[in-house]
Amino acid sequence: MVKTLNKLKYIYILFISVCIAIAGNAKPHKAGAKSLLSKTDEEVVTTLIAHSDDGIFNSNASYTFEVKNTYRTDQTGRVAYVVTTPAGKPLVKDSISVKISKNSSNSYNFTIPAMKPGFYKINFMINVSDYDDTTKRVFGIRPKEIRSSHPRPADFDSFWQTAKSQLAAVKPNYKVTEKPELEKDNRRVFLFEMKSLDDITVRGWLTIPKGSNKNRRFPVFVGLPGYQVDLKPMLGEDEDLAIITINVRGQGNSRDVIHPKRPDYITLNIEDKNKYVLRGAIMDCIRTIDFICSRPDLDSTRIEISGGSMGGFLAVALAGLDNRIKLVSAQNPILGDIRDLAGVAEWPINDIKEYVANRPALSYNKIMDNLDYFDIKNFAPNIRSSIMVGMGLLDHLAPPANSFVFYNNIPAKYGTIRIYKDLGHEVPKSFLDEDGHKMRDVFGLF
């Protein structure tokens, strides 16, 4: 059992490492660190400790700021904090005078005044004789009370039902080709191709264990792609699981018809919600589930879908539109509460604004109206699969308040969330381990 789990961990780590948007992996832990002396064997070391494992508090956030002085001189100055809104508007600040004796350590406790439900940025600053530095964090106050002020379109469900009906009218024409030259370890590799919405061909990879019973039906792990990520076959030594990776239209080996430059993908046909690239990409994911259900060697009752960043977005949308999914893993899903991304997330809002600015006949409000149909918060109420969401409080692509607006719309019995106070657009190995254990338990893989 332990050996099998270790193999599965490898698969998860390999998949997530390519699906999370690399641009979002920054950890703004410290900024502006500066030693005013050149003595390399002397320094001030600071450690910020939140009095909450996940950075979430009920009313008053509180921290301990530890300072270690290895200089051979006393350090005098101030320790301060500033709390701002996610958009950077100052709310509260405080500071204290400090004196840290040579070769000694001190700690300072801070309690932040009570805040209303939401997320807040906090910067801790130290400015002493020979050193200054800033440590940046985010904390949340009762985030399960956060709600969006923007309504779901009244015809949201009918819009997507129309898309699904149009997809169903396209014959999939599945084509599966074994690729022995790509095989490694103990898995067979297959390229699969299929027709999707608008009669566009999309492609993906299927790998299954070698030497298995011909009548065996494998549970399926489906990897969904991050933004402009070219997913390859996922290999490993797991002996009881089929693995699918899909490249939706305009990505990887599905770029023969739609092939925009990387920055242009997010705005491709964004002025028309019926032609927007993500509408087709979501239908490509549904067609992937159709493909699984068409094969006698794959168990359509045991399907997990997983993705990070844009792959997390696709996982949420797919779960909200297709009840054939058993388990969902969404890491740092983007496009949550889209209308409130402005001012807190540079991407994709800045790209969208630039797109509008270059088209005088197009309005930003019209684009927002279209994007309401692609906001993950609006898919969430329809989710009927067990979903595990991972988020980092320092995420600048999927900000925590926007992520919680989405999460709070999931029916309570289906959702689980894991919050990582020191991470940005990423999740740790522990999230992947927990998800892997859950999948094996639910699917009975022992």
Indicate whether 274 and 314 sit together in one domain: yes
Structure token digits, residue 294: 């068409």
Indicate whether 420 and 380 sit together in one domain: yes
Indicate whether 139 and 179 sit together in one domain: no
* Residue 317 φ/ψ, nearest 5 degrees: -60, -45
Q: What is the CATH number of the domain that holds 35?
A: 2.60.40.10
Task: Say whether 143 sits in a helix, a strand or coil.
Answer: helix
pLDDT of residue 215: 79
Task: Say whether 374 sits in a helix, a strand or coil.
Answer: helix
Structure token digits, residue 37: 């002396």
Q: What is the CATH number of the domain that holds 260?
A: 3.40.50.1820
Strand partners, 31: 134
Cα gap 408→147, rounded to integer Å: 7
Domain tally for the chain? 2
Indicate whether 328 and 388 sit together in one domain: yes
Query: Hey, what's the torsion of the CAs at 344, 348, 349, 354, to 10 degrees?
Result: 140
* Residue 86 φ/ψ, nearest 5 degrees: -55, -25
- 25 found inside a domain: no
Indicate whether 292 and 422 sit together in one domain: yes
The residue segments making up the domain with residue 126 are 30-145
Cα gap 181→178, rounded to integer Å: 9
Indicate whether 314 and 375 sit together in one domain: yes
Cα gap 364→351, rounded to integer Å: 12
Of 145, 176, 191, which marks where a domain is finished? 145
Indicate whether 178 and 270 sit together in one domain: yes
Closest CA to 107 of 28, 45, 167, 58: 45
Of 116, 145, 174, which marks where a domain is finished? 145
- 435 found inside a domain: yes
Closest CA to 150 of 422, 361, 373: 373
Question: pLDDT of 121-150, one tens digit each?
Answer: 999 999 999 999 999 999 999 999 999 999
pLDDT of residue 16: 55
Residue 118: how many other CB atoms lie within 10 Å: 17
Indicate whether 86 and 161 sit together in one domain: no
Q: Which long-range contacts (CB under 8 A, 24 or more apart) does 439-444 make?
A: 439/8, 439/221, 439/304, 439/327, 440/4, 440/5, 440/8, 442/302, 442/326, 442/327, 442/386, 443/219, 443/302, 443/304, 443/326
Q: Whose structure tokens read 């129309």? A: 162
Indicate whether 226 and 117 sit together in one domain: no
- 160 found inside a domain: yes
Residues of the chain short of pLDDT 50, as ranges, are 1-5, 9-10, 13, 17, 21-29, 36-39
Helix (H) or strand (E) holding 351: helix 349-357
Of 100, 121, 145, which marks where a domain is finished? 145
Strand partners, 243: 207, 221
Q: What is each CA distance from 120 to 81, 136, 234, 254, in whole angstroms?
A: 12, 11, 39, 40
Question: pLDDT of 384-443, one tens digit each?
Answer: 999 999 999 999 999 999 999 999 999 999 999 999 999 999 999 999 999 999 999 999
pLDDT of residue 185: 76
Cα gap 122→82, rounded to integer Å: 6
pLDDT of residue 425: 97
Indicate whether 113 and 207 sit together in one domain: no
Indicate whether 389 and 416 sit together in one domain: yes
Question: What percent helix, strand, coil does the chain show, rounded to 5?
Answer: 30, 30, 40
Indicate whether 226 and 81 sit together in one domain: no
